[in-house]
Amino acid sequence: MKYEWRKEDKDLYLPKPNPTIIHIPKMQFLTITGEGNPNSEVFSGCVGALYALSYGIKMNLKKRTNVEGYQDYTVFPLEGIWNLNDEGKRLYEIGTKAVDLKDYFTFKVMIRQPNFVSKDFFEEIKQMVFQKQKNDFVLSVVFEEIEEGLVCQMLHQGSYDDEPASFARMESEIAQQGYTRISKEHKEIYLSDPQKVEPSKLKTTLRFKICKS
C-alpha cells in the first residue's frame, strides 16, 4: 500500500483554518539554507535541488529489494523555515512592512524523507544526481533530523503577502491559552503550486514554535 502523507499525516500537514497547538516529533529531511528574496534564482535553485534529490531517492528505492521497512510513498511537500538577517531585523524594528523585507530573508527549505531512507543512501543518490545534472545546489543539500516540538499551526488560504494577518491571529489566540511565540522564525508548508494556483487560492500551513508564558 502506498504511503500518502495527506492521509497518514493529516494532523501534521493539513490543519484547520484556525490556530491549533500540536507537538511535532523528530523527522528526517533533506535541507538547504540560503538568504535573499524567495523570487530569486538562488531560491529556485535550492528548491530544484531538493526535488531532484527527493525524486531520485524515491525512484532508486524502487530498484532495491533489501531496504528494511520500505513501502512506496508520495513525495512529501516542500517546507521552509523563514527568518530575517540582522539588517532585516533592524528594519523590522523601525516599522518596515514584512512585504518589503524579502531581500533580507534567511531560509532553510526542506523536504521530509521516510524513516527507511538512510543518510548513506542519500549520499549515494546525491552523487548520482550531481553527476547527471551538474547542479552545484545539489552539493549543498544535507540530510538531517529535526524536532520542532511544541508549535502553533494554522492553514492560511491566500497570498503569501497576506500571511502577517494569520500570524497575528495565531499569536493572539495562543496568548489567551497561556502560550508565547518563541521567536519571529516560522515555518511554511506549501500545499499548492504557485505556478498553477492563483494567489487568492494558495493553501499554506503556517507554524511557529511556542512555550508556556
Question: What's the CA gap between 204 and 165, in Å, rounded?
Answer: 13
pLDDT tens column, 10-21: 999 999 999 999
Residue 45: how many CA atoms within 13 Å on its side-chain side? 16
Q: Please state whether beta strands 78-84 and 20-35 pair in parallel, antiparallel, or not at all (unpaired).
A: unpaired
Q: Which residues contact 172 (CB under 8 A, 6 or more apart)?
A: none
pLDDT in tens, 115-170: 999 999 999 999 999 999 989 999 999 999 999 999 999 999 999 999 999 999 99
Least Cα distance to 73 among 13, 2, 174 occurs for: 2
The total of structural domains in the chain comes to: 1
pLDDT at residue 82, rounded to an integer: 97
* DSSP conformational letter for 104: G
CA distance 164 to 146: 25
Could you tell me which residues are beta bridge partners of residue 180?
211
pLDDT top residue among 182 and 66: 182
Residue 96 has pLDDT above 80, yes or no: no
> What would the mean pLDDT of 58-77 be, rounded to a whole number?
92
- Where in the sequence is the domain holding 138, given as residue range(s)? 5-212
- Give pTM, 2 decimals: 0.94
Query: Cell 523570487 identifies what position?
Result: 39
pLDDT tens digits along 144-157 = 999 999 999 999 99
Give Cβ neighbours of residue 211 (< 8 Å, ≥ 6 apart): 150, 179, 180, 182
Is pLDDT at 63 greater than 90 in this prediction?
A: no
56-70: average pLDDT: 91
pLDDT at position 75 is: 98
The CATH number of the domain where 100 resides is what?
Answer: 3.20.80.10
Residue type, 1: M
- Cα 106 → chain centroid: 13
For residue 97, pLDDT beyond 80: no
Mean pLDDT value of segment 68-82: 96
Render pLDDT for 42-53 as a digit per residue (tens, 0 to 9).
Answer: 999 999 999 999
